[in-house]
Chains A and B, each alone.
Chain A
Amino acid sequence: MKTENPKSEIRNPQSEIPEQWQPKILAFLCNWCSYAGADLAGVSRIQYPTNVRVIRVPCSGRINPLFIFSALRQGIDGVLVSGCHPGDCHYISGNLVARRKFALLKNWLEYVGIEPERVQFSWVSAAEGGRFAEILQKVVDGVKQVGPIQKLTKDI
Chain B
Amino acid sequence: MRQKTNLSDELKWVARKLFEENRIDLLIGYEKGTLPLHNRPCFVSSVEGVDKLVWDSLCANNLATYLPRLFTRTHRPKGWKPPRVAIVAKGCDARSVVGLIKEKQAPRENIVILGVPCDGVVDLRKIEDALDGACPVSAKVAEDGSIMLQLDSGKSVQVSREKALFDACSDCPYPDAPVFDIRIGREIGDKSARRPFKDVEEFEAKSPEPRWKYFLEEMSKCIRCYACRQACPNCYCPTCFAEQTQPKWLGVGADLPEVMYFHLGRIFHQAGRCVDCGACVRACPMGIDLRIFTRKMVKDVQELFGYEAGISLDEPPPLCTFKMEDDESFITEP
Complex CA–CA separation, A70 to B216 (angstroms): 18
Complex CA–CA separation, A2 to B221 (angstroms): 9
Is A115 on the interface with B (CB-CB < 8 A)?
yes
Complex CA–CA separation, A138 to B334 (angstroms): 7
- Chain A residues 26-85 with CB under 8 Å of chain B are 65-66, 69-70, 73, 80
Is B226 on the interface with A (CB-CB < 8 A)?
no
B260 and A152 within 8 A (CB): yes
B331 and A104 within 8 A (CB): no
Cβ of A127: which chain B residues have Cβ within 8 Å of it?
none
Cβ of A154: which chain B residues have Cβ within 8 Å of it?
251, 255-258
B209 (CB) vs chain A CBs: closest residue:
A113
Complex CA–CA separation, A2 to B253 (angstroms): 11
B203 and A111 within 8 A (CB): yes
Is B84 on the interface with A (CB-CB < 8 A)?
no
A96 and B297 within 8 A (CB): no
Q: How many residues of A contact B (CB 8 A)?
A: 48
Identify which of B204, B293, B296, B332 gathers the most chain A CB atoms within 10 Å of its CB: B332
Cβ of A66: which chain B residues have Cβ within 8 Å of it?
241, 249, 265
Cβ of A97: which chain B residues have Cβ within 8 Å of it?
319-322
Complex CA–CA separation, A60 to B177 (angstroms): 38
List 9 A-B pairs, Cβ < 8 Å.
Answer: A7-B255, A8-B253, A69-B261, A97-B319, A100-B318, A108-B267, A121-B332, A135-B333, A154-B255
A residues touching B (Cβ–Cβ < 8 Å)? Answer: 1-2, 5, 7-10, 65-66, 69-70, 73, 80, 86-87, 93, 96-97, 99-115, 120-123, 131, 134-135, 138-139, 151-154
B residues touching A (Cβ–Cβ < 8 Å)? Answer: 203-204, 208-216, 223, 241, 249, 251, 253-258, 260-261, 264-265, 267-268, 271, 293, 296-297, 300-301, 304-305, 318-322, 324, 326-328, 330-334
